[in-house]
A and B are shown apart, each in its own frame.
Chain A
Amino acid sequence: MTVRHTADELVDAYLKYLGEAAEPLPEERRTELLAEVRTHVAEERAAGVVTPEEVRAMLARLGDPDEIVAAATDGLVMVKRQPRFRSRDVATLLLLSFGGFLYLLGWVAGVALLWTSDRWTREEKLLGTLVLPFGFLPVALLGTLSTAACRADLNGEILGCGGYTYPGWFQVPIMIALAAVQLVALFVLVKNARPRRSAGLRG
């Protein structure tokens, strides 16, 4: 308190505080407000406000930075906006898609995260659960099953598959369809995720 500050230090500290207080303002308003106040201070100093005491009085006339920022938020609804995707929501989507590969349990964890999240409605949660159970795992299994269990001749012609026949013309479209359905469901979840669309365990 007894430390003597130079006029420059006082001005710098004031502008720094104002800049921080104005942080929540929309960028354009913040920049403009800071420029106006900076100009004001420069004009005052050019007009004869020189000593630290004079600067102090000038800054007191300008007013508390918090008060100035409050005046600038007039008419704005200041809401702390939640990000659309928290890390738990990203984890939810990844586990729903690929959790099946983690001994199936990953997908179960994904479903648990999905149903306790507030980002999606009940209908979307149902969609996320039913399309598809275990995510991309069934798609991948379908692919490996056939190559592992099917015998092909030298020309790549499939001769037969395991205990059951698996026509090749049938398998590829099914895989594509399953993967596509899965992608569509994922797309819906990504697109619709918003805070507070349903009651979640935590907001």
Chain B
Amino acid sequence: MVAEKVFSQLRRGTLEYCVLALLQDDERYGFDLVKALSKVDGLVTTEGTLYPLLARLRREGLVDTVWRESESGPPRRYYTTTAAGTAALAAFIVDWERFRGSVDSVLGLGGRR
């Protein structure tokens, strides 16, 4: 793929907001969160790199974690969004729509919506 480098950078920049978006409705078990992202076409190339991403979001206060007992096996770490995470996502969505519209209009893909 010619644009592989571009897309790896786009992924790097947008993935954390996809994480925040998935956490808006509900808390999620780390493993389930990773698998959910990994099922989206073209979004995740290496599942393992999502764990450092989640750790960074937690350090930045955009997500929080809680340990929950599971019926089988050891306790599971669940991720939830924080107020800061929700705010960051809202701000990103505004910028993203404008950015996407700009790129689309220049590329002739339907113009501004």
Q: Which residues of chain A are near B72, meaning CB under 8 Å?
A: 46
Q: Is A71 an interface residue (CB 8 A)?
A: yes
Contact with A along B60-86 (1 / 0, CB 8 A): 000000000000111011000000000
The answer to whether A39 and B48 touch (CB under 8 A), given A33-B55, A74-B56, A75-B56, is no
Main secondary structure of the interface of A (DSSP, over half): helix
CB distance from B20 to the nearest CB of A (A): 17
Chain A, 35-83, CB within 8 A of any chain B CB: 36-37, 39-40, 42-43, 46, 61-65, 67-68, 71-72, 74-75
Instruction: Assign chain A's interface to a size class.
Output: 20 to 34
* Contact indicator B49/A68 (Cβ below 8 Å): yes
Main secondary structure of the interface of B (DSSP, over half): helix
Interface centre among A39, A46, A64 (most CB of B within 10 A): A39
Q: Given B48, B53, B76, which contacts A37 in the complex, CB threshold below 8 Å?
A: B48
The answer to whether A40 and B55 touch (CB under 8 A), given A61-B38, A61-B46, A68-B49, is no
CB-nearest residue of chain A relative to B58? A32
The answer to whether A33 and B52 touch (CB under 8 A), given A64-B46, A67-B46, A68-B46, is yes
Q: Which residues of chain A are near B48, meaning CB under 8 Å?
A: 37, 40, 62-63, 65, 67-68, 71
Q: Which residues of chain A are near B53, meaning CB under 8 Å?
A: 71
* Contact indicator A42/B52 (Cβ below 8 Å): no
